[in-house]
Amino acid sequence: PKLWPGLAEALAEAEAGNPQHLYDREYGSFEVLKPSNGNENVFNRYMERQMLPVTISAIMCSDSEKPAPKSLDQYAQYIREMDKLSPIADVWAMLTGFCATWKIRPGQRYDGPWSVEEGLKKTRFPILYASLDADPVTPLAAAQKMAKSFGNQSAALLVQEGFGHCTVAHPSICTVKAIREYFLEGKVPAPGTVCKPEPGYLFPGNETRSVAGLSLEDQKLWEAVKGLGDMSAQFGHV
């Protein structure tokens, strides 16, 4: 949502015959991968860009239960099956395609059980799942499935209305307070808890009026959570 106002402006300019703004949004911030000096200590090496295929593969392919299809026919069939599940299936199919050549397997990998029905034991303290109801990457249905798999004694679900990936994408003071209570006071939201986002983030013109109606404590909290949302947008996570 943080990027939507700028995108709207870029689309309007492109429609008026000036595509420069739209081009700059897509390619202007592109950075060439610049690894640090390879002669440095291995623990000091870094790469300036994070969300790279190699970093994604290292986690996703190593954690996966099965390797990606090996042949082109198998891969094509896999894409067709994925396409039945989601309109953005081609994106995920491309990411999992990297696993076809990923040979590294972790020394330890959890293979289940995945639910209380399968014998999953009760956790020492309930896990809190927080999900937007319009998350295009990790949908609410997935959070509901995870919470159900762990059971009522081991998991709780906090639903937040909003758009984007992860709750910081569409900041909500209600959500932040619930998460703060969870970590600092050990309180779990009541079943069925639903939080709403602050209107000043999605429509910046309303931000001044929205913030003015908050208490001083909530205003500081709003600035903090808004900063998290802005930072996530810079990294392309939302």
Question: Positive or negative CA dihedral for 85, 87, 93, 96?
Answer: negative
Lowest-pLDDT range of 16-30, 35-49, 165-179 = 35-49
- What pLDDT is attached to residue 41? 54
Could you give the CA distance from residue 175 to residue 159 in angstroms, rounded to a whole number? Answer: 9
* Region 48-56 average pLDDT: 62
pTM: predicted TM-score of the whole model, two decimal places: 0.72
Task: State the Cα–Cα distance between residues 19 and 232, nearest whole angstrom.
Answer: 26
Residue 90 has pLDDT above 70, yes or no: yes
Q: CB–CB of 143/178 below 8 Å? A: no
Mean pLDDT over each residue of the chain, to the nearest integer: 81
Please tell me the distance from the alpha carbon of residue 21 to that of residue 18, in angstroms, as a whole number: 7
Structure-block tokens of residue 33: 């991968």
Sheet hosting strand 194-195, strand order edge to edge: 127-134, 155-163, 194-195
pLDDT at 235: 56
Nearest alpha carbon to residue 169 among 72, 103, 234: 234
**Residues 64-76, mean pLDDT to the nearest whole number:** 76
Q: What confidence score (pLDDT) does residue 117 get?
A: 93
Rounded to whole angstroms, the maximal C-alpha distance in the chain is: 61
Predicted confidence at residue 56, as pLDDT, reads 76
Residue 20 carries which side chain, given as an amino acid letter?
Q
What is the reported pLDDT for 32? Answer: 44
pLDDT of 153 reads 93
Q: Residue 119: left if φ>0, alpha if ψ -120 to 50, beta else—which one?
A: left
φ and ψ at residue 181, rounded to 5 degrees: -65, -35
Contacts of 81 (CB under 8 A, 6+ apart): none
pLDDT bracket for residue 33 (50, 70, 90):
very low
At 206 the pLDDT is 56
- What per-residue confidence (pLDDT) applies to 24? 80
41 three-state secondary structure: coil
Listed range (18-22, 129-133, 190-194, 204-208) with the worst mean pLDDT: 204-208
Do residues 201 and 229 touch, judged by C-beta distance below 8 A?
Answer: yes
Structure confidence at residue 212 as a pLDDT band (50, 70, 90): low
Eight-class DSSP state of 93: H
pLDDT at 178 over 50: yes
**In which band, very low, low, confident or very high, does the pLDDT at 30 lie, cut at 50, 70 and 90?**
very low
